[in-house]
Amino acid sequence: MNEIIVLWPKNHPYSTYEEKFAQTFCLKKIKNNASNIIYYTDLKNERLPIDDEKKVIVFRDPYTYLSDTAFKALIESCKDKFAVAPVYTAEANHKDQIIIPPFPYVDPLSFEEAARKLYSNGKIIITLDNSHFSCFSCLAKDFYKINSPEITKAFHTGALAHRFIKMFSSTREDLIQLLPKQISHLLDIGCAEGGLGKLLKKRFPSIQVEGVEISPTLAAKAKKIYDRVYVGKFEEVNLPQNFYDSVIVGDVLEHMFDPWYALKKIYKIIKPGGYLIGSTPNISHWSIIRQLLLGRFDYIPVGLLCVTHIRFFTIDTINSALKESGFKVELIEKVKIPPTPEAYEFLKDVLTHPSIDKENLLCAEILFRARKPP
């Protein structure tokens, strides 16, 4: 087996717990695959204790999660004056690094399955430009001159990686589509960096958009976009009653200690006839059922089992929570992600059982629109 030496950035800053966890999550993966991890502060000026002919995998940021097969592919591709980077399904530095996976992945198990499938048909693609690689393999003597034209750069289509970046800038087009056509005053709960508000301002130039954000760092970015941002927990901020004609709560309720209280508070601040638009993960998705049957419950930086989720909903329980808060539920939309081939084989008896609600098992995300009676 090839020796795997990893160069990893030391003391990388973070501003949220999700970012901190993402760094730990990615590093844990490396510890499971690397023979040796060398922590660095400044790659340009730091001379590291490695033999020049050793093969290394260099990480420039700590948010890259390499699949098991990516470690293998990157080390196998190492040679003199040659740097090879993995491919991603999103958030790549170069368009040729974007790859369509053989099927959607939602957790570490399905990610590794997709990676194995890609590895079996992987090939190296040379890039002619001076791409900035966030992760790459090369000989130790070459990483100091990675930006030099004498180093040939390439991507390996069989080396799948995932980058946990831009976690807080989503525009949530899916939720915007559920809004009524006439909007004047909207509150975005958990507005993060303000990606949703930025798109709303483009679509509805006269709209007044306010936000609530618990992270001061994220709120500072949102303040550049929104008309007003309340910094703190939604449950604790003072908001006017019967004021907003629309409220958005996109993947936020599951992060709250008491989402049922939050829904009642939302009901009070919405005008009669106003709308609540939202989303939450479905805890009964097949991927979570499979993990439980395997004795696992793997928290991840972002996704169905995001590390900061403390409450969980199914289609029925979110529907009930909305109704119990006084809302009339107008729409429940199921965002489906089907099982991977290996997952289907594992769960086929469950998926085909006549008493099982298959639609519920396939639903990964629940979108909803509810209205406060006029």
Q: Which domains does the chain have, with CATH numbers?
A: 5-163 (no CATH), 173-371 (3.40.50.150)
| SS3 call for 39 | strand
Q: According to the model, what pLDDT value does residue 240 have?
A: 96
pTM > 0.85: yes
- 8 - beta bridge partners? 39
Q: Name the amino acid, one letter, at 241.
A: Q
Q: Are 263 and 319 in contact (CB under 8 A)?
A: no
Listing DSSP states for 237-294 in one string gives S---TT-EEEEEEES-GGG-S-HHHHHHHHHHHEEEEEEEEEEEEBTTSHHHHHHHHT
Q: What is the DSSP letter of 339?
A: P
Question: Where does the pLDDT of residue 66 fall: very low under 50, low under 70, confident under 90, or very high at 90 and above?
Answer: very high
Q: Which residues contact 280 (CB under 8 A, 6 or more apart)?
A: 251, 253, 254, 313, 318, 365, 366
Residue 103 structure tokens: 């099927």
Residue 117 structure tokens: 């499938």
Locate the DSSP E strands across the chain: 5-9, 36-40, 55-59, 64-66, 82-88, 124-127, 135-139, 152-163, 185-189, 208-213, 228-231, 244-250, 270-281, 328-336, 363-371
Distance CA 363, CA 70 (A): 29
- 326 - beta bridge partners? none
Whether the predicted pLDDT of 129 surpasses 70? no
Whether the predicted pLDDT of 130 surpasses 60? no
Question: Where does the pLDDT of residue 2 fall: very low under 50, low under 70, confident under 90, or very high at 90 and above?
Answer: low
Residue 175 structure tokens: 């939720």
pLDDT, tens digit (0-9, with 9 covering 90-100), for 210-247: 999 999 999 999 999 999 999 999 999 999 999 999 99
